[in-house]
Chain A
């Protein structure tokens, strides 16, 4: 019988066939579709299991959980020396900040965290005022409170700041400076004004051609040579400026990638409507270009957080350097002290960076709502 190509009767709409989601079907199709894949799966599973076991064995099973000093941790076969981390944790957070003044960093942490949470959680109202507070009032207040030296607050030199406090300050400053400055540099590099374009290009290419460690050494050692003799610049402040400028150059190139992805038609449509350069950039180009490069921006943010550890080369006690410093303590010196400290650091950094990464995914999904068909 000849096959009918033309329908004479309307085919009714039907639901799709049920998806087979049982365990063995997935196993067969995705995990072990052939003997070779099955072997590969088993090998990989064994490697993963043995790695996890090694970590758990060291960090939990063989770990020393309470001890007054190094004795137990020094025994052969001992795992992580958690009492060391416990004894040191406050110094990791505050550095050498005077113990009776630690309420000051605490206020900074709390206010910062509350304000930031308000900005990050979409449902919380008052984004505008909160944003103005967080990005302009809060940094000034924080520095004033941490430094002191007025209204009966004792003066605490920046050399005493340390640990997580310093890591947070450095990360916050670099992120908050590098994004807007990076956007400005990227726009400048695409400018039709030749001098603006040249200056932005020179800055970006110079900074990107130099390692961060070198920037830090030069900032701390060479900058004073150019200043009036006698003026001693604050080392921590110089380092913050150095790190922030350094990452601005990288951010600029990230943003430029987004700008280049914008179709010409968007510029033309805005021009045809009479929108000027700045309005065109603010309302049309940047919102779209920045959205495209969110993954790269977040990549840079994560790089910023992790690379603040490099400030240790110029003798600033950030979290990593503070943990390092604890190893010299005779009370805790043991074969496992260093491992415990580094493992804790790895967990802390991982949690921070993973949180940033997840939040950016969440924001990307939110921004995509409505744009897709």
Chain B
């Protein structure tokens, strides 16, 4: 595993419970800088919880999580530092509906990074161009299609210049015709060298860009491999079953 260049995300013996339910069990994970990881698994397997622990939307009870060299503890400053380096894209987009697309993209840079407004807007337009919707900058999220909204969400995260991007089922709430436009943006991002952790069931995307695919079941990582091997020769029976279900 990559350790030479230093890890982007390192998880050691991470455990988490939702009251009595053991949702993450002894997770060990090391993500190198620039690495693209796809996490898949059945629903309730803990994959969303896993990536939500990386920017502390969920806290873990045991073990160590180190993001870009910063240990995630209850220390608020560390949490701030981590969140500044980690961008996140949600299944439900979670754009701010009362702000325009441009304001969605500039709010955090202006108030968190203290970027001057003009510069933040210039940046925002640059990233909106990259996700191919600069012409929608002055509209409100409610006026856009689902695919466009998700691309805005990606641009909004990129505007903070994150080193790591987390994607939590970014295409699961989209109409089939819009999935491609979002995946295209993600592929473009991967090719640009971004460190990415994607929870997704888009197996074609996994084949195309992932360095490693991780399969989770019942709160554990049960299989980890580079995509070709993962799809061709799944080792665990649970993985085999899962792949049979989704790759008819």
Partners in one complex: yes
Cβ B94 vs Cβ A266 within 8 A: yes
Contact A371 B97 (CB under 8 A): yes
**A266, A269, A270, A274: most-surrounded residue (chain B CB, <10 A):** A274
Q: Mark B203-220, 1 if CB is under 8 A from A, else 0.
A: 000000000000000000
Interface string of A281-293 (1 = CB under 8 A from B): 0011001100100
Judged by DSSP, the binding face of A is helix
Asked if A274 contacts B112 (CB within 8 A), the reply is yes
Tell me if B10 counts as interface (CB < 8 A to partner A).
no
Residue B60 at the chain A interface, CB threshold 8 Å? no
- Hey, what's the 0/1 contact readout for B140-174 against A, CB within 8 Å counting as 1? 10110000000001001100100000000000000
Task: Please give, as numbers and ranges, the residues of chain A lying within 8 Å of B98 by CB-CB distance.
Answer: 287-288, 291, 371
| One of B92, B140, B142, B156 near A273 (C-beta < 8 A) | B156
Cα(A287)–Cα(B83), bound, Å: 24
The answer to whether residues A271 and B94 also contact, given A283-B111, A372-B142, A373-B142 and a CB cut-off of 8 A, is no
Q: Decide yes or no whether A126 CB sits under 8 A from chain B.
A: no
Query: Which residues of B lie under 8 Å from residue A288 when comparing CB positions?
Result: 96-98
- B199 located at the interface, meaning its Cβ lies under 8 Å from any Cβ of chain A in the complex: no
A-side contacts of B97, CB under 8 Å: 288, 371
A279, CB-defined interface residue at 8 Å: yes
Number of interface residues, chain A, beta carbon within 8 A: 22
Choose one: A265, A272, A273, A276; the contact of B107 (CB below 8 Å).
A273
Given A268-B57, A370-B140, A372-B142, CB of A275 within 8 Å of CB of B111: yes
> CA A31 – CA B160 in complex, angstroms?
60
Q: Are B143 and A373 in contact (CB under 8 A)?
A: yes
Contacts of B88 in A (CB 8 A): 269, 272
Closest CB in chain B relative to A328 CB, distance in Å: 54
Residue B95 at the chain A interface, CB threshold 8 Å: yes
Contact (Cβ within 8 A) B57 A272: yes
> Residue A265 contacts which of B83, B92, B112 (CB distance < 8 angstroms)?
B92
**Distance A265 CA – B111 CA, assembled complex (angstroms):** 20
Q: Which of B18-56 contact A (CB under 8 A)?
A: 55
Contact B90 A275 (CB under 8 A): no
B96 partner, pick from A266, A279, A291, A373, beta carbons under 8 A: A266
Is B87 a contact partner of A283 (Cβ separation < 8 A)? no
Partner of B90, one of A265, A279, A371: A265
Complex Cα spacing A16 to B157, Å: 44
What are the interface flags for A139-181 relative to B under an 8 Å C-beta threshold, 1 for contact and 0 otherwise? Answer: 0000000000000000000000000000000000000000000
Interface residues on B, range: 20 to 34
Interface string of A69-92 (1 = CB under 8 A from B): 000000000000000000000000
Residues on A with C-beta less than 8 A from B142 are 370-373
Task: Tell whether B179 is near chain A: CB-to-CB under 8 Å.
Answer: no
Within 8 A of B (CB), among A193-249: none
Chain A residues contacting B84 (CB-CB under 8 Å) are 274
Chain B, range 66-116, C-beta contacts under 8 Å to A: 80, 83-84, 86-88, 90, 92, 94-98, 100, 107-108, 111-112
Within 8 Å CB of B143, what residues of A? Answer: 370, 373
Point out the residues of chain A lying under 8 angstroms from B55, CB to CB.
Answer: 271-272
Bound together, the chains give a CA A283 to CA B80 distance in angstroms of 18
One digit per residue, 1 when the CB lies within 8 angstroms of any chain B CB and 0 when it does not, for chain A 16-35 equals 00000000000000000000
CA distance A18 to B108 in the complex (A): 50
Q: How far is the CB of A134 from chain B (nearest CB, A)?
A: 24
Residue of A nearest to B56 (CB): A271
Nearest neighbor of B57 in chain A, beta-carbon distance:
A268
Task: Please name all residues of chain A whose beta carbon is closer than 8 Å to the beta carbon of B153 when the two chains form the complex.
Answer: 269
Q: Given A266-B96, A288-B98, A370-B143, is A273 in contact with B112 using a C-beta cutoff of 8 Å? A: yes
B140–A274 contact, CB under 8 A?
A: no
| 18 A–B contacts from the bound complex (CB under 8 Å) | A265-B94, A266-B96, A268-B57, A269-B90, A269-B96, A271-B57, A272-B55, A272-B57, A273-B156, A274-B112, A275-B112, A276-B80, A279-B111, A283-B96, A291-B98, A370-B142, A372-B142, A373-B142
Besides A269-B153, A274-B84, 14 more A-B contacts (Cβ < 8 Å) are A268-B94, A269-B95, A269-B96, A272-B57, A272-B83, A273-B108, A273-B160, A274-B83, A274-B108, A275-B107, A283-B96, A283-B111, A371-B98, A373-B142
Residues of B within 8 A of A (CB): 55, 57, 80, 83-84, 86-88, 90, 92, 94-98, 100, 107-108, 111-112, 139-140, 142-143, 153, 156-157, 160
